[in-house]
């Protein structure tokens, strides 16, 4: 069947020809030029297909607000990343007083410093609460079952990494509270079976708690774990898109017991 082509809206049509001009169609309106830039990039990168695949997909009937908890966790992470970048502009991982002074500078003197630090500090708790609520939704709805086991396993890794972010971030102000809380945390890790003592030595950066511990926690908090979280969120979302969102347990797959067939049909109908 031939596709009906609709005319371009007026604001996107080429500007009228000026006297003496050869070809009016070569001049672009600003809106048209915008589209052309996107087209130009897409012609080279071919990303629009992937973006459409990711964003325009069918979701099962009966989904509700509980299904937004994964995205809410992702936005909490993004807020942590943005506020963390601004904090890193002023923070110094210096155990001989510099770390504490830089945090005091952020809180008392830097423009909006207290606000950004507060957002990062409270945001950490928000992200941990949201990730647990998201996990509870997935568990209670049975969404971890076939074929979403790998999505769950990646999720568990994300949960552990998020907790590591909280643990390593807590030391960074390097005040009395964060110092002694981290000493206790590392000692608890040391009591673990087999790898416990090696783990606590690794976290301390040797037998003594001190400057190496701070730079180690800083590197883990700023580089290692955020990088891993970004990569794993990518894999998590790829699987969510590829497998489709699971239906709530009270909505039955239309007359079929094979949910994969239903998912496959939904994907091919898009
Ligand atoms: C940084 C942490 C995480 C982010 C950003 C994230 C993001 C998401 C998003 C956006 C979805 C789709 C919408 C939804 O169901 O809410 C989703 C689904 C899912 N997540 Fe997570 N998630 C995270 C952690 C976890 C954890 C800790 C688990 C479990 C241990 C988990 C297991 C799953 C599963 C099994 C699905 C598929 C649910 C379904 O198909 O109904 N995720 N996740």
Q: Which of 236, 246, 249 to mutate to test the pocket of ligand 1 (most atoms within 8 A of CB)?
A: 236
How many CA atoms, within 13 angstroms, populate the side-chain half-sphere of residue 172?
26
The CA-based dihedral angle spanning residues 55, 58, 64, 69, taken in that order and rounded to the nearest 10 degrees: -30
Pocket of ligand 1 (CB under 6 A): 67, 69-71, 73-74, 77, 131, 134-135, 138, 143-144, 148, 151-152, 155-156, 158-159, 162, 233, 236, 240, 245-246
Q: Distances in Å between the alpha carbon of 270 and those of 61, 252, 265?
A: 15, 21, 9
pLDDT for 22-57, tens place per residue? 655 556 666 666 677 888 888 889 898 899 999 998
Q: Where are the alpha helices (DSSP H) in the chain?
A: 30-45, 48-55, 69-88, 98-108, 113-140, 149-171, 176-190, 196-204, 211-219, 225-243, 259-269
pLDDT at 27: 61
Pair 54, 241: CB distance under 8 Å: yes
How far, in Å, from the CA of 134 to the mean position of ligand 1?
6
pLDDT at 43: 82
pLDDT at 42: 85
pLDDT at 36: 75
pLDDT at 126: 98
- Three-state DSSP state, 7: coil
The domains found in the chain, sorted by start residue, are 68-243 (1.20.810.10)
pLDDT beneath 50: ranges in the chain = none
How far, in Å, from the CA of 242 to the mean position of ligand 1?
13
């Amino acid at each position: 069947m031939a596709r009906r082509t609709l005319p371009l809206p007026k604001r996107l049509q080429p500007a009228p020809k000026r006297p003496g001009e050869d070809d009016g169609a070569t001049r672009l309106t600003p809106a048209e030029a915008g589209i052309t830039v996107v087209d130009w990039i897409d012609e080279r990168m071919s990303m629009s297909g992937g973006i459409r695949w990711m964003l325009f997909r069918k979701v099962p009937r009966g989904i509700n607000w509980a299904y937004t908890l994964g995205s809410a966790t992702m936005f909490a992470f993004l807020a942590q990343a943005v506020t963390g970048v601004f904090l890193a502009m002023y923070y110094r991982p210096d155990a001989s007083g510099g770390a504490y002074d830089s945090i005091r500078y952020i809180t008392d003197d830097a423009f909006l410093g207290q606000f950004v630090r507060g957002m990062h500090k409270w945001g950490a708790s928000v992200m941990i609460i949201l990730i647990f609520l998201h996990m509870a939704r997935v568990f209670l709805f049975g969404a971890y079952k076939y074929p979403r086991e790998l999505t769950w396993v990646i999720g568990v890794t994300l949960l552990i990494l998020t907790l590591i972010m909280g643990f390593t971030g807590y030391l960074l102000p390097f005040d009395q509270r964060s110092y002694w809380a981290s000493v206790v945390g590392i000692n608890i890790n040391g009591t673990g079976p087999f790898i416990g003592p090696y783990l606590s030595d690794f976290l301390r950066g040797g037998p003594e708690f001190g400057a190496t511990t701070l730079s180690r926690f800083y590197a883990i908090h700023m580089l290692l774990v955020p990088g891993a979280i970004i990569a794993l969120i990518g894999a998590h979302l790829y699987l969510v898109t590829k497998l489709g969102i699971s239906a709530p347990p009270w909505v039955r797959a239309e007359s079929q017991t094979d949910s994969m067939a239903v998912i496959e049909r939904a994907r091919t109908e898009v």
